Amino acid sequence: MALTPKPPLSITTLANLTILSLLFFSGPSHSTQPLDKTQEQRFVDCFGDLIHDPLLNFTILHALGTPSYEEYFKAPIKNLRFINSTSNKPSFIMTPTSLQQISNAFVCARNASFHIRARSGGHDYEGLSYISQSSNPYILIDLNSSSIVIDIEKGNAMVQSGATIGELYYEIAQKSNTTAFPAGICPTIGVGGHFIGGGIGALMRKYGVSADNIEDVRVVRPDGALVGRINMGEDHFWAIRGGGSNFGIITAFQIRLVSVPPIVTTFAITKTLEQGAARLVERWQHVAPKLDDDAFIRIIALAADDKESNEKRTINATFQCLFLGGASKLVAIMDEKFPELGVKPEDCEEMSWIQSVLDFAGYGKNASLEILKSRKPQFEGSYKGKSDFVKEPISEKGWNEIWRFMMEGKDEPVVMIMDPWGGKLDEIDEGDIAFPHRKGNLYNIQYFMRWPEKDEQVAKRHLDWMRKFYELMTPYVSKSPRAAYLNYKDLDLGWNKETSTNYSDASVWGEKYFLNNYKKLAYVKGKVDPYSIMWDEQSIHPLL
Ligand SMILES: Cc1cc2nc3c(=O)[nH]c(=O)nc-3n(C[C@H](O)[C@H](O)[C@H](O)COP(=O)(O)OP(=O)(O)OC[C@H]3O[C@@H](n4cnc5c(N)ncnc54)[C@H](O)[C@@H]3O)c2cc1C
């Protein structure tokens, strides 16, 4: 069932709704409804009372076991290893058509002792937006309002959480060929989950991550209040920019757009071990994080059969570049800073920024822009991601050890994606916003594996191998803590057991994701969501 996208509410409306919702807010008691009703019935009754329209319940609340529930549950799932999962599913899926309904859902969830989770694009690596490893009952709020309003003159845009970054890129391109936004590579990612975890991509060395470019938000706080930057408090606004799904449901973001030249240049050069990939990757670590911030060169490395001999394995390392300028300037920079790669004019292609988005996403620069609006994933199957940050270059000897392990895993199609840090990321302090990964990092590694089967046994084999690979990487990556990127969520780092985990247990993964910002985030959680209504396996434990 299609929902009509709703424009974001103005601050005045928000303020009125805030007062309204505070009137509804029932105070500290966790359960104010008669206990002889089922938990589900208490929620439905409370919700019906608040909206004064019992019929609406049937169109926006979908109870577990009903046909509409199955449809809403499965459609946005991208990671197919979770589609038939026996893990705990939400008791209700709510498909809201107004902010007030989300506010009411929080109030009633608290009355009936449910947790709340949000889903925007459904890409969560561990499926935490729609399944749970714990038996705690919860309600899923599916955010499918996706309006995007671009204001080129003001240099900003208002984007609802249910939009994808592909839709955002598309709408920007309709208005200007010299305007862009720094966010991820894969167009089907949801704005909601992506921005609150950071948002890394090809423009981050020039402009920072997505979260660095958020000017304002529309949030339904766990107490039911509807707030924006003007009345939410700076700490709450700070926490939303990188602190993940802990601080209410963000329904819309006001983002600062950035400038790009009319012509940008890309290249993708693949080298095998026989062509010197090990030496080039070693060299790249010294060069890429220090290049001019107009240049972004990442590496995508994977093991493959050697074309010359089927018996032999090799590594294909692809050096993929986005340069904010013309080809001749890029070739001159590469000649000076990275001559070993041997970039020639014929390796480079000039294009508009939006074509580079298509190119990086794997569609090719001449694909129709309409493809950016497609929500169909480019790959249908299962996946697992893990991440690391590298602070000291890994030696060629180290790389040979890494390549050996990857080549031996013949049935383990892992891809190492290495995104260079430096540039703008070095200029922003760790504590400026909640996203903490700044100066001192050379690059981020994502270990990503995907496979076609949904089967749990197949998944287990791949997951076990990924864990061994992660273990092998220990000496080469950041330590104390071994940092990880929240958007590449990884339950191997640890998780909350039911609700019994405390602050210090949760710091095992919390400090990996948030470094020195973790404690402040826990205090903000204590203020904004003291009862952990927004709870999941890796949510932050509130400090009061
Ligand atoms: C194929 C693929 C490519 C990717 N490429 C990149 C990349 O280039 N760069 C990068 O940085 N990341 C990338 N990612 C990771 C991606 O940024 C995260 O998975 C992100 O969390 C996805 O957001 P979503 O809205 O699609 O997911 P969801 O599953 O909907 O949400 C993810 C998390 O955010 C919470 N959440 C969602 N919406 C809201 C909201 N409105 N308010 C509060 N909480 C909310 C959910 O509860 C969940 O915890 C990629 C992921 C995949 C699968």
For residue 121, the ligand 1 atom closest to its alpha carbon is 26
Instruction: Provide the pairing of β-strand 115-119 with 138-142.
Output: parallel
**Ligand 1 centroid, distance to 120 Cα (angstroms):** 8
pLDDT score, position 456: 87
pLDDT score, position 6: 32
Q: What is the DSSP code string of 433-484?
A: SS----TT--EEEEEEEEES---HHHHHHHHHHHHHHHHHTGGGS--SS---
Q: Which of 73, 80, 94, 120 maximizes ligand 1 atoms within 8 Å of its Cβ, making it the mutation to test the pocket?
A: 120
pLDDT score, position 500: 74
pLDDT score, position 379: 84
Q: Which of 74, 80, 126, 129 maximizes ligand 1 atoms within 8 Å of its Cβ, making it the mutation to test the pocket?
A: 129
For residue 78, the ligand 1 atom closest to its alpha carbon is 53
ipTM of model over 0.90: yes
pLDDT score, position 498: 74
**Ligand 1 centroid, distance to 273 Cα (angstroms):** 34
pLDDT score, position 20: 30
Is pLDDT above 60 for 8? no
Q: What is the CA radius of gyration of the chain?
A: 23
- The answer regarding whether domain 264-352+376-476 maps to CATH 3.40.462.20 reads yes
Instruction: Write out the residue limits of the CATH 3.40.462.20 domain(s) in the chain.
Output: 264-352+376-476
pLDDT score, position 36: 64
For residue 102, how far is the Cα from the chain centroid? 22
More confident residue, 484 or 85: 484
Q: How far apart are CA 324 and CA 76, in angstroms?
A: 34
Q: Give 310's pLDDT tier (boundaries 50, 70, 90).
A: low
3-state secondary structure of 310: coil
Per-residue CA distances from 12 to 19, 382, 385, 437 (Å): 11, 44, 42, 36
Is pLDDT above 90 for 11? no
For residue 79, the ligand 1 atom closest to its alpha carbon is 53
Q: How far apart are CA 364 and CA 362, in angstroms?
A: 6
For residue 426, how far is the Cα from the chain centroid? 21
Q: Which helix (H) or strand (E) holds 39?
A: helix 39-51
Which residue matches tokens 């990964």? 437
**Ligand 1 centroid, distance to 328 Cα (angstroms):** 37
Q: How far apart are CA 434 and CA 451, in angstroms?
A: 33
Instruction: Write out the residue limits of the CATH 3.30.43.10 domain(s) in the chain.
Output: 11-142
Q: How far apart are CA 488 and CA 59, in angstroms?
A: 34
Is pLDDT above 50 for 267? yes
More confident residue, 106 or 77: 106
Q: Which of 241, 487, 490 maximizes ligand 1 atoms within 8 Å of its Cβ, making it the mutation to test the pocket?
A: 487
3-state secondary structure of 20: helix
CATH of the structural domain 11-142, one choice from 3.30.43.10, 3.40.50.2300, 3.40.50.620, 3.90.320.10 = 3.30.43.10
**Ligand 1 centroid, distance to 75 Cα (angstroms):** 16
pLDDT score, position 289: 98
Residues having CB closer than 6 A to ligand 1 are 78, 117-125, 128-129, 143, 161, 184-186, 189-190, 192-194, 196-201, 245, 249-250, 487
pLDDT score, position 25: 30
Produce one character per residue of 131-166: b if its CB has 16 or more CB atoms within 10 Å, e if not: bbbbebbbbbbbbbbbbbebeeeeebbbbbbbbbbb
pLDDT score, position 28: 29
**Ligand 1 centroid, distance to 240 Cα (angstroms):** 14
